[in-house]
Structure 1
Amino acid sequence: MRLRIERIGAQGDGIAQTGDGPIFVPFTLAGDEIDAWLEPGPRGTIRAQMEGLITPGPGRQDAPCRHHGQCGGCSLQHLDADLYARWVADRVQMAMAQHGLGDCPMAPPQISPPSSRRRLSLKAMRTSRGVLLGFAMRQSHHLVDVRQCPVARPSLVALFKPLRALLHDLMPLRAASVISLTEADNGIDMVIDGGIAPGLSMREALAAFAQSRDIASLHVMEDGLCDPVAVNRRVEMVFDGIPVPLPPGGFIQATAEGEAALRALMLEWLEGAQNCVDLFAGIGTFSFPLARRARVLAVEGARTALDALQSGVNKASHLKGLTALHRDLFRRPLSAAELAPFDGLIIDPPRAGAVAQMGEIAKSGVRTVVAFSCNPNSFARDARILVDGGYQLCQISPVDQFLWSPHVELAALFTKS
C-alpha cells in the first residue's frame, strides 16, 4: 500500500497514521511518500518495509554507510544534520512529555561527529563461507557482515579484516562469539567472549595478533572468568591528568567528545559546591576533575570499577578530599539522612535508571543535582520523582554519543531551595 510518513518515533522508525492505527516503517522520515509492504510487528503493532520511495521528505540525505538499511547499528543515517539534531531534541522531549515534563528548558543537542565512537561490541560467527563479523540486523538475530563503520574510530575499523582472518583459524564451524573493542587513552582493550577454546595454540595465535596489531590487552572470557591472554601494557584512561586503569571490557563514555561535553556541564553546574557525592561513579570520569575544587565521595557498586577508581585515588595524592566507597546503590541507596552533608550530587545510573536512589534524593536537602542518563525514558520517570520531591528541573542538555541511533545521552540540572 502507499503511505505518507508523518513523523519519526522514539525508536527511529517513521510513522504513518492510518484507519487501522499507526504503521511503523524503518528508514523513513516525515514527508516521505512510499510504497510499502505490510507485516505484523511485535506486541500487536503493524510494521512495513519500504518497497519504493515515491516522494522524499525534507531533510533526507544519502546514507554514508553501504550497510545502511541492513545493519541495526545505525537507523537514522538518511537524516541530514539539521533534521537529525531536531529529532534528538524531539526524542528527549517526547519522553519528558509522557511524565508531564514536556516544557522543560532544553539546550541545543551536542552531537559527537562521525568516526568518534571508541567502544564497539561486535558479533562473530564462523560459517562454511568464512567468518561473519559485525552487528545484528534491525530487530533480528541475523548477522550483517560489516566492512565499514562510519561512526567508529578508524583504529577500530582497521581491525575488522585481520580479526576475520584470526577468528577463521580459531573458531570451530558454527561457533559464535562477542568481540568487545575499546580504545582507551593508551591503546586498545579487546575481550573475546565465547567461540574459542583456550588451548596453547590459541593462546599463541592471540598473543601474536595482539603484538602485531599493538593491542594493549587481550582477554578471553571463559565460564565467567576473564583470562588475560596477552597484556602488553596496562590499559588506562586519564581523567584530569590522573591515569586510572580500565578493567577489561570496562565502561567509559562512548566518545571523547561526549565525555568532554558532559564533564564541562557538570563542572559548570556544580560551581561553588564544596561537598559532593558521585553516585554510580564508575572508574571516576567525573569524580577526578570535580575533586580539584571540592570534596568528593565516589560511590560505586561494581568491584572492578571501584578498584580502578581507588587505584587512581592512590596516585592522586594532591586530591586530599577524594574518597571511594563500595556500595550497591540498587540494594542500598544512600538515604536522605546520609545525603544531608552534601551540597552537590552527580548521578549516572545504568539504562534502567535508579528509582530507589532517586526517591532518597527527592527527600534530601542536596541543593544541586546533576543527572546523566543514556535512556530518556527511564530518565523522565526518575526526573518526575525529583520534581515531585521539590526539585526544579532547570535545564536538559542532550549529548548524543550514539550518532544516527535512537540511543540518546543527556545531562540535566536540578536545584532545590
Structure 2
Amino acid sequence: MSSTRLDITRIGPRGDGVAPSADGPVYVPLTLPGEHVEVEREHDRGRLLSIVEASADRIEPICRYVGSCGGCALQHWRAEPYENWKRDLVVDALARVGLEPPVAPLVPAHGAGRRRATFHARSTGGNPRKGEDVLTVGFAGRRSHAIVAIDACPILAPELAGALPAAWAVAQVLVPLAKPLDIQVTASETGLDMDVRGSGPLMPRIVAALAEVAGQQRLARLTRHGELVLQREPPLVTMGRARVRLPPGSFLQATAQGEATLSRLVGEAMIRGGRIADLFSGVGTFALRLAEVARVAAYETSVPAVEALLNAVRNTPGLKPVTAEARDLFRRPLLPLELKNFDAVVFDPPRQGAEAQATQLAASKLSLVVGVSCDPVTFARDARILVDGGFRLESVTPVDQFLYSSHAELVGVFRR
C-alpha cells in the first residue's frame, strides 16, 4: 500500500482530521487542521505515517498510549480550539434540523477525572501452567477489537487508582478466558465497585477465588453480571443531601464535576415548588436534588435504580415528597393526560434520545421542559419535535465531562 500526502482542513465529528480528496474526504486520526501529513490510505481512512508540517495548536499528549489506545482522540490539541470544536458539535447538530438557539460557551467538567471505567480482558488460551496463556487487560484499541494493555490512565480520577490492579487480579482468576471480559469499575465513597461481565457460569471454587481476590483488593463490592460475589461495604454516592446505594453496574455520570454541573444547570432552569417529572431518572441524579425544593415523580426503566432512589428518599430527611415508578419510556412514554399533573419536566435519556417521549411532551400543555443529553444529534431531533409542538428552545449549554473525546453533553431549556 503506497503513501500519499494530504492537507488536513478540519476535525470531523469523531475527532479525526479530515482531508479533502478527489474522491471524497479522508479521515486521519491524530491530526489537526492546517497540518500537511503523509498517510497510508485505504478508501476513506488514512493511517498517519508522519507529520510533514505541524499545526501551531499541536501539544504533547499527556498519555503514552495515545495512538494505540482508542479511548482519547484529541489529547494533542490545544484547549481553546478543542473547546470551540466541541461546542460546534452542538451548534452544527442543531443547525442541521433548522434550530439556531443561543448556545453558551462549553463548560469544562472533567474535574478530578472519570470515576468509572470499563476495562477489557482477553487471553490467548492454552495452558497457563506451561506459560502458553497470555493475559491482556486494558482498553480497546483505536477502531479495533484488540485490547491495549495499560498500567495507568491519566484521565481517571484518583479514586480509581486501584481499579486497574484489581481488574488484573480478577481476570487472572478467570484465565484461560473462554471469551473477552468486560470489567466495569466505579469509584464510590466507600470503595471500588466492580461488576464482571462475559465470564459465563462459574464453578463454586472459582467464585470462592474471586471473593478472596475482592477481599485482598479491598473492593467495596464485586458482582458478576449483577450477582453478588462479595460485599465489604455498600457502594455509596452522595447526590444533594441524599446518599444512594448503587445497584450493581448502574449508570453514574462519568465525573463528579460533570454530575454537579449538569445538576446545577437543571436546577437553575427549574421552578421552585410545584410538581416536577424526572424522566429517565436513573438512581436520582436530578430527582434527589430537585426534591429539596419541589415535589418530584421519577420514571426509570431499571427496577434496581428505582429501588435505590426510593431507598435514598426514605433515608434523607427534609425532602419534598418523591415517587418513583419503573416504566419503559421508549415503549410507554408519559401521555399528555398524565403530563397535565406536572408543572415542569426534565428528561435525560440514553444516547438514542427520547423521540417517543418528546412527541408526547410536544402534545402536552407543559410550559417548561429541560432536556439533558449525551448526544447532540439525537437531542437535536427531539428538540425539533418540541419546537414544532410549540416550544421555544431558549438556551443550550454544552458540557464537557468526556475530556479529549468526541462526546459532548448538554442541557437545553424549552419554554412555550
TM-score range, shorter chain: over 0.9
1:106 maps to what in 2?
Answer: 103
Query: Structure 1 residue aligned with 2:156, among 144, 152, 159?
Result: 152
1:81 equivalenced with 2:79 (yes/no): yes
User: Comparing 169-178 with 65-74, which one deviates more in the overlay?
Assistant: 169-178
Query: Structure 1 residue aligned with 2:18, among 15, 28, 40?
Result: 15
- Runs of 4+ in structure 1 off by over 3 angstroms are none
Give, as a single letter, the amino acid of the residue that structure 2 aligns with 1:88.
Answer: K
Paired with 1:320 and 1:104, the residues of 2 have a C-alpha distance of: 33
1:33 maps to what in 2?
Answer: 36
1:97 maps to what in 2?
Answer: 95
Post-superposition offset of 1:38? 0.8
TM-aligned CA distance change 1:209 to 1:60, over 3 Å: same
Matches within 5 A, 1:256-295: 256-272=256-272, 274-295=274-295
Paired with 1:402 and 1:302, the residues of 2 have a C-alpha distance of: 24
Post-superposition offset of 1:194? 2.3
Matches within 5 A, 1:62-73: 62-73=60-71
Which digits, 9 at most, give the CA deviation of each residue in 1:256-289, with x for residues without a partner? 0000001111111014352111001111110011
Give, as a single letter, the amino acid of the residue that structure 2 aligns with 1:3.
Answer: L
2:194 maps to what in 1?
Answer: 190
Paired with 2:91 and 2:221, the residues of 1 have a C-alpha distance of: 41
TM-aligned CA distance change 1:292 to 1:253, over 3 Å: same
TM-aligned CA distance change 1:86 to 1:105, over 3 Å: same
Paired with 2:239 and 2:169, the residues of 1 have a C-alpha distance of: 36
Match of 1:21, SS state, is coil
2:251 maps to what in 1?
Answer: 251
Match of 2:386, SS state, is helix
Give, as a single letter, the amino acid of the residue that structure 2 aligns with 1:346.
Answer: V
The runs of 5 or more residues in structure 2 that have no matched partner are 125-131
TM-aligned CA distance change 1:297 to 1:162, over 3 Å: closer
User: Comparing 309-318 with 387-396, which one deviates more in the overlay?
Assistant: 309-318
Task: Give me the TM-score of the superposition, normalised by structure 2.
Answer: 0.93
The runs of 5 or more residues in structure 1 that have no matched partner are 41-45
Give, as a single letter, the amino acid of the residue that structure 1 aligns with 2:151.
Answer: R
8 Å Cα contact 2:294-2:320 kept in structure 1: no
1:43 maps to what in 2?
Answer: none
Match of 1:289, SS state, is helix
Paired with 1:196 and 1:152, the residues of 2 have a C-alpha distance of: 28
Post-superposition offset of 1:112? 2.8
Give, as a single letter, the amino acid of the residue that structure 2 aligns with 1:227.
Answer: E
Which digits, 9 at most, give the CA deviation of each residue in 1:123-160, with x for residues without a partner? 10123453211111122111111222111123324332
Paired with 1:359 and 1:273, the residues of 2 have a C-alpha distance of: 26
Paired with 1:296 and 1:195, the residues of 2 have a C-alpha distance of: 39
Paired with 1:124 and 1:319, the residues of 2 have a C-alpha distance of: 43
Match of 2:238, SS state, is strand
Matches within 5 A, 1:323-338: 323-338=323-338
Post-superposition offset of 1:197? 5.5
The alignment yields a C-alpha RMSD, in angstroms, of 1.7
Which digits, 9 at most, give the CA deviation of each residue in 1:16-65, with x for residues without a partner? 1122111111111111110111102xxxxx11111110111232111111
1:134 maps to what in 2?
Answer: 138
Matches within 5 A, 1:364-403: 364-403=364-403
Post-superposition offset of 1:314? 2.0
Give, as a single letter, the amino acid of the residue that structure 2 aligns with 1:48.
Answer: G
Task: Give me the TM-score of the superposition, normalised by structure 1.
Answer: 0.93
8 Å Cα contact 2:299-2:327 kept in structure 1: yes
TM-aligned CA distance change 1:66 to 1:395, over 3 Å: same
* Percent identical residues: 41
2:127 maps to what in 1?
Answer: none
1:167 maps to what in 2?
Answer: 171
Query: Structure 2 residue aligned with 1:143, among 138, 147, 155?
Result: 147
TM-aligned CA distance change 1:384 to 1:125, over 3 Å: same
TM-aligned CA distance change 1:212 to 1:82, over 3 Å: same
Match of 2:399, SS state, is strand
Query: Structure 2 residue aligned with 1:125, among 118, 122, 125?
Result: 122
Post-superposition offset of 1:92? 1.2
